[in-house]
Amino acid sequence: MGDSIETKIGLEVHVQINTKSKLFCGCTTEEGEPNNNTCETCMGMPGAKPVTNKKAIDSVIKICKALNCEISTPSFFSRKTYFYPDLAKNYQITQYETPLGKEGFLQVENTKIRIKRVHIEEDPAALEHAGGGTLIDYNRSGIPLAEIVTEPDIRSPEQARNFLKKLINILSYLNVIVPDTTIKADANISNSKNNFIRAEIKNVTGFKEIEKALLYETKRQQEEEVTKQETRRWDGTKTIVMRSKETEDDYGYIYDSDIPKMTFTQEYINKISSSIPKLSDERIRELTKIGVSQEDAKVITQDLFVSDAFEKIAQKSNPATAAKWFRKELLKRLNADEKQIKEVNIEALTEIIKMIHEKTITEHTGRELMTKIYDKNFSPIESIKKTGATMIKDTTTLKKMCEDAIEKNPKAAVDYKKGEEKALNAIVGAVMKETKGTAKPDEVKRIIEEMLTTL
């Protein structure tokens, strides 16, 4: 019966928008000493007037358009009233009736996940429970967040993870979130066996954890009977009931008349739309058309800057070779060296890839040249001229080197003739050392085999 149970999952994703100042005041969003980055507005003092951060609005409109949403105009802010020490005003400025974006979708492989709404809101303060008391840091209070809410169109925990990965990829392409941001989400989940009575799992951090929490909850709901809506939390191994779920209507949302309504002209919306770069789906399609494998294209397009650099290099060299070299060498190297693609000398990298493709140098030499890839003055072509590390194409020279190596390793030669295939490695290794890696091992092996069998 397990297989016939249908699961429905909806997500509410929260991400921080990467502005310099907060959503309604000039306080910095950078980290600092607790409660230093505050003013009367973000502390909710009487008479303080919020002023909307235009850059934050632009960024969220950009998200809305990338997620195929309709833009609400006019759009306004509402106060979500509740008492908790993380809110100095006793209300959070958010959006309820008129989210900036609504009725969009995100295509995840073959499934269209509908986006119900995208809105902007302020982050409350951070609470830290320490030494029997609670510390409050209002530095976070007023930092702009975007909330992205899906319809319950997701069918499995795995699909939820794929959705989140895709979403983060898009947000990073739009350059609207803090790099390497950790995603936070609430997830609602229900199944057909329990008449789709939902549980909401609050505030799970990171997409691996979200998937784990959903896997746990899927199983729990299949085994247990669910009779009422409830809110649960994830402790890392299981979900625990917190309270019966309140609905959004239980909060008192009231229109915030301190903040002017926003209206968006078609011209403004078009301008934002045209600032959206080509996203990864389109790039993958284009790359596979010019001979890059699907697998390489997916890896390369995970990062906008890597993808941009690749497009530049692929125009001047062979795309398939460039892609292979990016995935197998460049990305691993960046990771190991803790460097960014922007620190790479792209011209030098192009030269290396070209020489490898044209077989002017071996991959071994290519890897050695790669160690100098962060030097902006480095010229691989000049370097090769100096060291003479071009690939040995002259067979006569190579044959002479092979002959010498056989002479210097008589025991290995005899062993090989006796049938010990491994003995050949010693001779091949000696030749490779002599050529400083500028010969192809396969070719060296072939020449030596030929010599030993005809000797």
Q: Decide: is 88 part of the binding site for Zn ion (CB under 5 A).
A: no
Closer to Zn ion by CB, 17 or 391: give it: 17
Minimum separation from the CB atom of position 21 to Zn ion (A): 8
Closer to Zn ion by CB, 140 or 193: give it: 140
Choose among 277, 237, 23: nearest CA to 140: 23
3-state secondary structure 82-143: CCCCCCCCCEEEECCCCCCEEEEEEEECCEEEEEEEEEEEECCCEEEEECCEEEEECCCCCC
Token pair for 296: 């390489």
Minimum separation from the CB atom of position 259 to Zn ion (A): 15
126-151: b or e for each residue (b if 16 or more CB lie within 10 Å)? Answer: eeeeeeeeeebbbbbbbbbbbbbbbe
Tokens 């295939």 correspond to: 421
Query: Max alpha carbon distance in the chain (Å)?
Result: 99
Compose the 97-136 pattern: x for residues touching Zn ion by CB under 5 A, - for all others: ----------------------------------------
Choose among 135, 112, 139: nearest CA to 125: 139
Closer to Zn ion by CB, 52 or 302: give it: 52
Closer to Zn ion by CB, 42 or 389: give it: 42
Token pair for 368: 């050695």
Percent of the chain as helix, strand, coil, to the nearest 5: 45, 20, 35
Minimum separation from the CB atom of position 25 to Zn ion (A): 3
Closer to Zn ion by CB, 125 or 430: give it: 125
Closer to Zn ion by CB, 36 or 387: give it: 36
Q: Decide: is 177 part of the binding site for Zn ion (CB under 5 A).
A: no
Minimum separation from the CB atom of position 47 to Zn ion (A): 14
Closer to Zn ion by CB, 25 or 164: give it: 25
Minimum separation from the CB atom of position 39 to Zn ion (A): 3
Q: Decide: is 42 part of the binding site for Zn ion (CB under 5 A).
A: yes
Q: 3-class DSSP state for residue 446?
A: helix
> Residues in contact with Zn ion, total (CB under 5 A)?
5
Footprint of Zn ion on residues 314-373 (CB under 5 A)?
none
Closer to Zn ion by CB, 41 or 188: give it: 41
Q: 3-class DSSP state for residue 226?
A: coil
Token pair for 434: 């002599």
Compose the 234-273 pattern: x for residues touching Zn ion by CB under 5 A, - for all others: ----------------------------------------
Choose among 312, 352, 357: nearest CA to 333: 352
Footprint of Zn ion on residues 22-41 (CB under 5 A)?
25, 27, 39, 41
Minimum separation from the CB atom of position 96 to Zn ion (A): 23
The two beta strands, 111-122 and 101-108, are antiparallel
- The residue ranges that bind Zn ion (CB under 5 A) are 25, 27, 39, 41-42
